[in-house]
Structure formats: C-alpha cells, structure tokens
Amino acid sequence: MAYKTSQEQFWAGSFGDEYISRNRGESLLASNLNFFSKALERTDKPGKIIEFGANIGMNLRALQLLFPEAELAAVEINEAAASQLAQLIGDQNTHNISILDFKASEQYDLAFIKGVLIHIDPAILPEVYEKIYLSSSKYILLGEYYNPSPVSIPYRGHTDRLFKRDFAGELLDLYSDLHLVDYGFAYRRDPSFPQDDINWFLLEKK
C-alpha cells in the first residue's frame, strides 16, 4: 500500500509488528485503567468511543471495563495489530487503514488518541486534527508527550520518528468551539501505575 509519509510506512511495517510484543500485558492494562479513570473523570459516560492508532486494543480493553456498555471503534494502520484488535471489538468496528485515509461515517461521544500524534509527520498534523475533531460529537482526549515548542528527538535509533509539541494547544487554536476541561500527567516512575511520561488533555465541544 502507498502511504503519504515515511512515518506511516514505518508503523505499518516490521517496526509496527515489533511494537505489539512490547506493549501488552496485565500490568499495562492496570496502568491504563488508572489513566482513563482519571482522564475521563469529568466526562459524562460515553456511549460511543473511537480510538485513533489503537494497536492491539490495550486502551480499549481498559475502557471496556470502565464503560462496559459503550460501543467501541478504532483506526489502526498495522495489519497484524488490527487483526488482534478485531478480535476485541469486531471486524466491523476495526478500520485497518492510515488515519489520513479514514473517513468517519458517524460521530462518537469520545474520540481519543494516545501516544500516536508524537509519531506523525508534523506537516500533516492539521489533517489528523481534523479527522479527530470531526469524529467527536462531544469529547476529545489527547495523551502525548508535551513540549511548549515543536521538537524532534531520536526514537529507538531512528530520526524523524518522534515529535513533541503542544498538540492540545494547536487543536484549541484551530477550533473555536473546543474548550479545555481537564489535564494531567502520568509518570513513568509511578510505583503502582506507570505510563510513559504522558501529558493528557481532555477537550469538549461547546
């Protein structure tokens, strides 16, 4: 498949396959439960949720436990990951395509992305922001590395594969009907529920 950016090819290929084995397990599920219970504490209970860049669904597994009646959908570029994801949420709810190629046919109470925007080519971020924004009827949750100004840092021996910036601030600047509801930080040295130094931002359409 032809992709618009080298970053898409990177995650669709063997590196994305290898990522699967590094990011699974019950400890991660426990940390994700803690993460989402805090990040979504100030939301109404979502009935429909979509995740962008879901991998095998470790975030969605946590959300299934928090909101067992919610309908779940996801976009995932890596075929091997999407195959496992479909076992969790169903083939009809699993979109094995690039975020750039996704077209939402409906809106969701919560649209979220966690640890994915940092790996996207900065030049096409506005397109990704629009996909997320249009998919949400109410809430948007971002969980990414934060930096007040854009910066690129090496990632597992690769360049131009990890970018930090103020993703939430850029979304707020783009869409005047979005408002900040809550924000926080999850620390990799948390003794009970570690995450990967993630700053999260909960936004709401008004």
Instruction: State the pLDDT at residue 185.
Output: 98
For residue 112 the two structure tokens come to 């979220």
The strand pairing partners of 200, in sequence order, are 143, 184
Instruction: State the pLDDT at residue 16.
Output: 63
In 3-state terms, what secondary structure has residue 124? helix
Q: Which H helix or E strand runs over 137?
A: strand 136-144
CB 76 within 8 A of CB 54: yes
Mean pLDDT along residues 62-84: 97
Instruction: State the pLDDT at residue 134.
Output: 98
CB 28 within 8 A of CB 58: yes
Band of the pLDDT at 24, cuts 50, 70, 90?
confident
Cα distances from 74 to residues 30, 94, 112, 119, 177, in angstroms, run 21, 5, 10, 17, 24
pTM passes above 0.85 = yes
> Of all residues in the chain, what percent carry a pLDDT higher than 90?
83
Q: Which H helix or E strand runs over 144?
A: strand 136-144
| Cα 198 from Cα 139, distance rounded (Å) | 19
In 3-state terms, what secondary structure has residue 187? coil
Is residue 83 scored above 80 in pLDDT? yes
In our burial notation (b when 16+ CB lie closer than 10 A, e otherwise), range 105-139 reads eeebbbbbbbbbbbbbbeebbeebbebbbebbebb
Band of the pLDDT at 86, cuts 50, 70, 90?
very high
Average of per-residue pLDDT values in the chain: 93
Instruction: State the pLDDT at residue 21.
Output: 65
Instruction: State the pLDDT at residue 144.
Output: 97
Q: What class, spelled out in words, does domain 6-205 have in CATH?
A: alpha beta
Closest CA to 65 of 86, 40, 93, 83: 40
Band of the pLDDT at 1, cuts 50, 70, 90?
low
Q: What is the pLDDT of residues 114-149, one digit of tens each?
A: 999 999 999 999 999 999 999 999 999 999 999 999
